[in-house]
Amino acid sequence: MTRPTLFTDVQVFDGTGRDPFPAQVLVEGNRITEVADRIPRDRRSEARVIDGGGGTLLPGLVDAHTHLGFGSTVEHLSRRRDEPEEEKALLVAHAGRVLLDHGITSAYSGGNRLPRTEVAARKAFAEGWMPGPRLKAASWEGSAGMVEPGVYDFPGIDGRASDPDSVSRFVTGMAELGVDIVKLSLSGESAVVQGTSRIVQFTDDEVIAAVQAADKHGVWLTAHAHAAESIKMAVRHGIRAIYHCTFADEEALDLLEAARDRVFVAPTPGIIHANLYEAGSEPEPGMEVEATAEAVHKVVPELVRRGIRVVPGGDYGFAWNPVGRNLRDLELFVDWFGFTAAEALRAATRYGGQVMGMEDELGLIRPGFLADLVLVDGDPLEEIGILQDPGRLAVIMKDGALHKARV
């Protein structure tokens, strides 16, 4: 077993949202074992001491919508997306290390065309011989009529016979590959095929078949859902995580509120910001970039007001929205949606542990919890933007192991 680690002179933001408090934190093995004003000498004699210099100790941060396989990080930008499979596997591994370098110690994947690479990365990261976050691995996005991965035309359900069997086979097949999450594009995506965000892609029977297969094989479902009807469909059938939620109407909001104890929403401000300001070309009107931004500005504060857990994760992985920029979502939660910095951090920690399905052991600084910790040089509650500078992340620990220790 590795030596214990003792953090001294830190302000602990414990993930619950309460104000930071001065404390010492002891890590033994891969767990936090004590959080106290002062830990007795006999408990700490063997420990490696990290003097935090008054910095802020956070639970490791969780991202709920990153694509490790899209090929772009802040260190490696690629618009290709057609690399050979072997190269893509390396890109997934690379993205894992970049996430960890930026304080993301857990990632709930947003989808991968090569789910086997993600399953392999999950194992390598968990075993610790390759740096990367705790990973919930995802399937590629199942689309209307279960088209092949990479084929996006978002034709909708009009004029197509419902085909629950193929949906069930898709979910089962993905589960057999070993993913944790199967993703369904319940609506289209206007940023990819103009005008399709408002199109519903699945029939009710198909979603019911997906839910039954997911339950049978022990995998979660994520819904990509912009259109109001697609959001309602996701909630009605018990889908656990909903991406975007852009055009939720009053009925959708009521359904979400009634399901608030079991549902998570990731509204993905990162990609919206990137599409508005960083895509490098004027968006076409049919991409609905401005309409999407306008809608989420209204819908997210309403979700929060109704007690729905909103989690960060801005669809990172594209060349204009690369992996490593993830914590910009927290600043956008504050600037766009009116979160306090503490609320944004709670969304990325406590709610993050919940979205990972590990709420009893992940997302809080508390004895017994897994030792995923980030020591910040400064106070992110005063200035949330400092988290985007990896130079300010003095220590990054995952599973009790130091990934980075500058102090």
Q: Which residues bind Zn ion (CB under 5 A)?
A: 110, 315
Closer to Zn ion by CB, 110 or 188: give it.
110
DSSP 323-375: BT-TTHHHHHHHHHH---HHHHHHHHTHHHHHHTT-TTTSSS-STTSB--EEE
User: Min. distance of Cβ 260 from Zn ion in angstroms?
Assistant: 23
**What angle do helix axes 228-236 and 250-258 make, rounded to 10 degrees?**
20
Closer to Zn ion by CB, 108 or 202: give it.
108
Longest CA–CA separation in the chain, Å: 73
User: Min. distance of Cβ 164 from Zn ion in angstroms?
Assistant: 25
Closer to Zn ion by CB, 26 or 296: give it.
296
Closer to Zn ion by CB, 52 or 110: give it.
110
Contact 18, 51 (CB under 8 A): no
User: Min. distance of Cβ 110 from Zn ion in angstroms?
Assistant: 4
In whole angstroms, what is the distance from residue 103 CA to residue 105 CA?
Answer: 6
User: Min. distance of Cβ 183 from Zn ion in angstroms?
Assistant: 8
In whole angstroms, what is the distance from residue 221 CA to residue 337 CA?
Answer: 26
User: Min. distance of Cβ 135 from Zn ion in angstroms?
Assistant: 15
User: Min. distance of Cβ 249 from Zn ion in angstroms?
Assistant: 23
Contact 315, 271 (CB under 8 A): yes
**Looking at residue 287, what DSSP letter applies?**
G
Closer to Zn ion by CB, 10 or 227: give it.
227
Closer to Zn ion by CB, 122 or 244: give it.
244
DSSP 25-49: EEEETTEEEEEESS--HHHHTTPEE
